[in-house]
Structure 1
Amino acid sequence: MRFSQFAERTEVRLARLRIAVITGAIITLLMVVVGLVADTVMTRAQSAQVWRELRYGASRGDLSSPPVCTWLYAAGATPLANAPDGFPVRADLDRVRRTGDAVERVVHRAGTVYLVRSQVRADGDVVQAVFDMRFQLADRRHLWYALGVAELVGLVAAAVTGTVLGRLSVAPLAEALTRQRRFVTDASHELRTPVTQVYTRAQVLSRQARAAGLPAEHRDGLVRLVGSVGRLGAVLDDLLLSASLTADPARPAERTPVDLTALARSVVAEEAERIGDRGLTVTVGGARRTLYVGGIESALRRAVGELLSNAISHTPPGGRIEVALTRSGAAVELTVADTGPGFEPAEAERLFERFHRAGEGGRYGLGLALLREVVTGHGGTVTAAGRPGHGARFTIRLPECAPPPPAPAGSVPVTAARR
């Protein structure tokens, strides 16, 4: 479930559209190829036939009664009353008289095409035959018109066929994604209670082991067990949050103005014990006033907490972490920078892939991938920058929104419970 449900639906629609477009393109290409082949065959066949008739008429045709669409010109012969203007071509007749060789040419005139042949007949007369191609040209136009109508019908058929094929071919993918989301949600819910029970029991056993004075190796083993179960619970929380975002990402009804400055300070305060244990210095600065973004507070808290937790995990003891909030245009930027080992610049984008590991002991898991889902679902972006040995910097950019309206006088403020 790399994308939210909205993104998945968009991908499914785009896949269906691509199938319809490809099907239409294939049909269009086939129709164009068929049209070109038919036009080429018709043009060559018509031209060959007309030239045969023209040569026959020039050599043997009756000057007073030529074939249809043909006019014959010779010395002493009277042209027909419907003869086209501009004929005969005197230059061709003069050339034939000088050389005795036949001359053929194509003349474009008055919106039509004329084929012209001038030659010497067996009786010694010089004759010029002219053939009007207007009917053949009309046949070609009718052919392309018919192909155009067939193309429109084909496109409609292609659209219907592509839509049906798209639904039939993409439907299993959409169903598989739905089943995958349902399985993750159900499995996470079913596992959450026993994991919580195991985690609580492990904590109790760890405290009892310390009170009973058990050997250090047993106490250390219980501490590691508590940590492992705690991380398993965090993974389940990530899966549940991801499933909820995918099932109904950033529901508008649940979006409220969230004070990102106060939220960041609260997240830092929650990690105070862990920060102190590692001897780190964490500062929150930048904005001198409250900065509001619209969204789901629990999801945004999880995102900011993931950045801070990630920085704490990868900053050596005695290091420094800076959390800065700034206003940039119509957006709010929250940056978490640490003095940890950093990472290769080429790995920046891949850090947000699920279970990706950047180098030995590098950042990996669901956290950063889930972080991007949360931020993207809120209409924002998240980027990473860093160099080996120079720490890492993660920046969340979210659209700013107006602060919430003031509470009515006498009302009691309600604070949402934290998970």
Structure 2
Amino acid sequence: MRSSAYAEWAVVRRARLRIAVITGAIITLLITVVGGVADTVMTHAQNDQVWRELRYGAARGDLSSPPVCTWLYAPGVTPLANAPAGFPVRADVDEVRRTQDAVERSVRRHGTVYLVSTRARADGTVVQAVFDLRYQLADRRNLWFALGVAEAVGLVAAAVTGLVLGRLSVAPLAEALARQRRFVTDASHELRTPVTQVYTRAQLLARQATAEELPAPHREGLARLVGSAGRLGEVLDDLLLSASLARGPASPAERRPVDLVALARSVVAEETDRTRDAGLTVSVEGPSQSLFVDGIESALRRAVGELLSNAISHTPADGRIEVALARSGAMVALTVADTGSGFEPAEADRLFERFHRGGDGGRYGLGLALLREVVTSHRGTVAATGHPGRGARFTIRLPECAAPPARTPPTAAPEPAVEAGHP
């Protein structure tokens, strides 16, 4: 699975590549069409010219002095010393003698092609004219070689042109994506403070309403206001975290070994009140020793918290949630399984899409999508399995890293020496 930043970059790259491929395909098609037309025209013109010369040679040519690359065979005439073997074609000669109709054909011999025209002259002599097409065939091969060179040059030009056109045409898309990320970041930063103030003031008003025993409708309205402001703050936190992940991988200075076992137990402890109010049983199973992964603790805490929060939201009262940690080869696996409503197996991948609405009508918002971004930015994977009414299981796998070096406690400063005889 891929982060949103990588997905955006992949879209831009695919657009550039598509433009380059289309440009190359157009140039290739044009060169191929031009080559095909040129070869057809050349072949037709050469064949027409050769056949005209052969027909004239067979009907009226000098039998003792034929044109270059042409040999004339007739009764009582000695062929030239360089005449190709296998001629004349006796079957054609016999047929012309019998029918007095001209016979023309092409013959492939000795690695080349010969055009053969056999006809009877006015005096009744049957003459066979043979023409060697080797030079014409060489011209055609040279034509296709030249076209191949032009094709190679055209492909290079197409690649360069495609890259240039791709950058120029896709630049607005890349700029729009960058502006969108900047807008999300700026808007989230600007809204974070007023939303926090609204949330704090709403909490104070809710406490005062409880102390002053306001009517129940007012207290319920204030409670809903507190919940709405809190959820809005969580959405802004999600947007800020997503924008920070979209900027690229964190620098080495921002990452450090994180004990995933301790982090998971801490997240479960923070949700104790919520799980108790919901009537849920939550257990954490894992090794007694620590399992460290390299990353940003706040982002990983958000990811684990999202898994647990998602399980709590989709598990009815008296349900059970199990958080399990284990070492799996060079990876650390964290699994959150619940006995909740589950989901259709076909929706497993779509759960990580932003604001995906499940088949049960439940909306998943930014949480699981952001979870995937966090995991992939830590070079890990996340997978989901489940069945309707039989619960769900989400598994995060992150590369294990070495434990951080133990801190050496500072050495106490030596006490000053006291001379004898002095207090």
TM-score of the aligned structures, taking structure 2 as reference length: 0.91
2:323 counterpart SS class: strand
Partner Cα distance (1:108, 1:345) in 2? 65
1:232-291 deviations in whole A, cap 9, x for unaligned?
000000000000010133434322221111110010011111112222110000434322
Partner Cα distance (2:117, 2:409) in 1? 104
The within-5 A match list for 1:136-285 is 136-285=136-285
1:287-324 deviations in whole A, cap 9, x for unaligned?
34322222111111000000101111222222111001
1:318 counterpart SS class: coil
CA contact (8 A) 1:306 1:371 kept: yes
1:168-196 deviations in whole A, cap 9, x for unaligned?
11100100011001000000000001111
CA contact (8 A) 2:3 2:377 kept: no
1:393 counterpart SS class: strand
Partner Cα distance (1:332, 1:312) in 2? 23
Partner Cα distance (1:119, 1:408) in 2? 110
Equivalent position of 2:19 in the other structure: 19
Shift of 1:361: 4.8
1:199-252 deviations in whole A, cap 9, x for unaligned?
111111111111111122211211111111000000000000000010133434
Shift of 1:401: 2.0
Shift of 1:91: 4.0
Partner Cα distance (2:4, 2:251) in 1? 12
Equivalent position of 1:417 in the other structure: none
Partner Cα distance (1:149, 1:361) in 2? 61
CA contact (8 A) 1:4 1:377 kept: no
Partner Cα distance (1:325, 1:91) in 2? 90
TM-score of the aligned structures, taking structure 1 as reference length: 0.92
The more displaced of 173-182 and 82-91 is 82-91
Shift of 1:52: 2.2
Equivalent position of 1:96 in the other structure: 96
1:105-161 deviations in whole A, cap 9, x for unaligned?
322233322111222222111211111112211221221122122212222221221
1:395 counterpart SS class: strand
Partner Cα distance (1:286, 1:183) in 2? 42
Equivalent position of 1:292 in the other structure: 292
The more displaced of 18-27 and 98-107 is 98-107
Alpha-carbon RMSD:
1.9
CA 1:29 to 1:252, structure 2 compared with 1: closer, same or farther past 3 Å? farther
Partner Cα distance (1:292, 1:327) in 2? 10
Amino acid at match of 2:197: Q
The more displaced of 216-225 and 243-252 is 243-252
Equivalent position of 2:418 in the other structure: none
CA contact (8 A) 2:319 2:339 kept: yes
Equivalent position of 1:415 in the other structure: none
Partner Cα distance (1:149, 1:389) in 2? 65
Note if 1:402 corresponds to 2:402: yes
Shift of 1:408: 3.7
Note if 1:352 corresponds to 2:331: no
Partner Cα distance (2:148, 2:241) in 1? 54
Equivalent position of 1:376 in the other structure: 376
CA contact (8 A) 1:287 1:324 kept: no
Which runs of 5 or more structure 2 residues have no equivalent in the other structure? Answer: 412-423
Partner Cα distance (2:270, 2:214) in 1? 31
Shift of 1:54: 0.9
Equivalent position of 1:414 in the other structure: none
Shift of 1:333: 1.4
Equivalent position of 2:325 in the other structure: 325
2:140 counterpart SS class: helix
CA contact (8 A) 2:3 2:372 kept: no
2:217 counterpart SS class: helix
Partner Cα distance (2:291, 2:388) in 1? 32
2:128 counterpart SS class: strand
Partner Cα distance (1:361, 1:96) in 2? 89
Amino acid at match of 2:60: R
Which runs of 5 or more structure 1 residues have no equivalent in the other structure? Answer: 412-419
Aligned length: 410
The more displaced of 86-95 and 336-345 is 86-95
